[in-house]
A and B are shown apart, each in its own frame.
Chain A
Amino acid sequence: MSLYNDLRTSAELQREQEDGHRHCLRICRAAGCLSQHNDSITRALQDQVHGQGLENEVQVKGVGCMGLCAAGPLVSVSTHEGESVLYQHVSEADAPEIVAALDSEPVTRLQLDTSTPFFTRQYKIVLENSGIIDPDNIEEYVAADGYRALNTVLSEMTPADVIREVTISGLRGRGGGGYSTGLKWSTVAKAAGDLKYVICNADEGDPGAFMDRSVLESDPHRVLEGMAIAGYAIGAQKGFIYIRAEYPLAVERLKTAIRAAEKKNLLGDNILDTEFDFDIEIRLGAGAFVCGEETALMASIEGKRGQPRPRPPYPADYGLWGKPTLVNNVETYANITPIIRNGGEWFADIGTDNSKGTKVFALAGQIRNTGLIEVPMGITLREIIYDIGGGTPQGTALKAIQSGGPSGGCIPVEHIDSPVDYESLTRLGSFMGSGGMIVIDETADMVEIAKYFMEFCMTESCGKCIPCRVGTAHMYRLLDKIVRGQAAQSDLDLLEELCDLTRNTSLCGLGQASPNAVISTLRYFRHEYTARLIPEFAEEGER
């Protein structure tokens, strides 16, 4: 197809020009590093390069997330032979030294050792372009094989072929549920009706999770391409990205990316000179956690209050404005392009029997290497926390790992050798969730943590169904009573009863999962609860 080839040729021409530069200075421009006076660092580096007349030899560019947020602001220096050095905690004042060191030994004072497990143990599929390409430059994405998959799909594959490839890959939803992506796509494709929608769920509401923000800020075209391929596969002409208003930078980058793709005829009518039309519109969330639930999300896109409704009917049959709708998460779409490019079987070879591919995790809390990592499914928690994460910062003992956000649970240190995949985490009473991992050390109080999550669920409850609206408030009051040391055994019994009730009778996932933090901390850290009960009552309860 000539249009794609033209695009590719011009993108490669640009890359060749860049390769003419002997060095490339890449500055992380994702939200974490950007907030640390990153603009002035970029300017200082540019000034140095210009001041020494090195414009034709040294390229300075802003790129997406390099992963190790704890060491930011990060700057990477590479030669076109492929050698690279990573500098950490860079400040404006370091610019002259960095530029002066280009042709000699690196600045050891700032150098970050990239032979550590944090870098070597990762396996990057979703993040392959993050920290390498300029997210605002579509040519760089195209030169990095971007939109090749869309071109292949439109010119050589039928929608059924695409769905078959995705099914073979074994990809499962990365938003948390873990539903088979291939199965979901084929259900929507089979649904009756000409008008269908594709939705990208970028309402990353789990506190402690920032994978989707990072992907959108670092490589937005990858998500657009995944959505367009999905649109072709299921027969939709319209896509929506529902994104949090709390992520202004990601919204800006997405807008730029959509405009650029429209201009290059990669979105819009007759994409790449074929019959296929596909538009993408951005819809801003407004700070409601429940909108991450798919039916609430669709209500919000329709301009209504974000309240869920019972399923079935599932969105695949009755979704946005009553039409068949495909809802997938950012990371799921980000996996589509490599699956099409390399084939479903390639993807299915990575990971475990039931959980294929890689998963991006956000490491935060009491951990040395805070940041974003991508690892193959099936890796153990120990490898993630100790090898990649570097353990706790002050050498305090690890107590638990909280995964899955407010809907997840706390996994105690005894289970640190468990593999990370959908089923294993569920067995441990937690949940894959979207991929936030909060490391908790011995100084933490587990009842306080359970109370924190319950407060979150209570304030975020949409109020539609009684078990969640009243249940979370009541459970919160009981937890508060326990924390204050005013509770008796009967309060704890009531708390457990309410956990069970809320879990089994709430309308949507938010309510059903709201007691998870309590249930998992009771399962593994019950003594922290009982130690606080009023003694005489506690004895009475045991009798």
Chain B
Amino acid sequence: MRNHKSVPPPSDDKRWRIVEATMRRNGYRPDALIETLHTVQESFGFLDDTALRYVASKLHVAPSQVYGVATFYHFFALKPQGKHTCSVCTGTACYIKGANKILDNLQTHFEVNPGETTADGQLSLLTVRCLGACGLAPSVVFDGNLLGYMTAEKLHEEIDEVMQYEPV
């Protein structure tokens, strides 16, 4: 078995050092896999094959198992995300208060399906299962900010303002 030290990072990108630090802190134990994937995603925005192979060899986990974990959990993205992200909460409280209308509207307006990114790479549309902000239903997270009492119109304004998005 190869020593984890002998596996060099895929490139000299400095972000690999952050990933390396997470693995070191966990003693390169296989159980640090999910923690490490979280760090990769935080640093690079998504998990690509290179990253998955690198983590697999560092933690001595079979690449198939790493791929299995990365695809099992919804939180991990295997494709690059858009410049902006909009996550619509589809939890029960938001559902009762019309989250589907918001989602439908975004889909038509920006021509993008949930889980996908617009062709110009500007906006990723995601759905989440309950943000725990049911008091603000329907709620949406746009670029990390939680927005409550949303309507499709209000959300458009918000998105247009931030992105100065010109629909094609």
A contacts, CB < 8 Å to B: 31-32, 34-36, 69-70, 72, 204-210, 213-214, 245-247, 283-289, 300-306, 362, 364-366, 370-371, 402, 405, 436, 438, 440, 444, 452, 456, 460, 462
Contact = CB atoms under 8 A, between A and B. Distances in A.
Contacts of A460: 129
A303 B96 contact: no
Contact of A364 (B35, B74, B134): B134
B147 interface: yes
A208 B72 contact: no
A305 B75 CA distance: 13
Contact of B76 (A36, A72, A286): A286
Interface string B61-92: 10001001100111110000000000000111
B35 A35 contact: no
A210 B37 CA distance: 26
B33 interface: yes
Interface of B: 29-35, 37-38, 61, 65, 68-69, 72-76, 90-97, 128-137, 139, 145-148
Contacts of B133: 31-32, 35, 210
B30 A303 contact: yes
Contacts of B32: 303
Nearest to A289: B129
Given A32-B148, A35-B146, A69-B136, A300 B34 contact: yes
Contacts of A34: 146
B31 A286 contact: no
A303 B95 CA distance: 32
B74 A288 contact: yes
A213 B129 CA distance: 14
Contacts of B129: 205, 207, 287, 289, 456, 460
B142 to A, nearest CB: 11
A108 B85 CA distance: 40
A364 B137 contact: yes
A250 to B, nearest CB: 8
Given A208-B91, A362-B134, A35 B96 contact: no
Nearest to B137: A364
A207 B35 CA distance: 24
B138 to A, nearest CB: 11
5 contacts: A247-B132, A305-B72, A365-B137, A438-B92, A444-B96
Given A286-B38, A303-B34, A305-B72, A69 B132 contact: no
Given A32-B135, A286-B76, 14 more contacts: A31-B133, A35-B148, A72-B136, A207-B90, A207-B93, A208-B91, A208-B92, A283-B34, A284-B38, A285-B75, A303-B35, A305-B72, A364-B134, A440-B96
Nearest to A214: B132
A370 B92 CA distance: 13
Given A35-B145, A208-B92, A365 B97 contact: yes
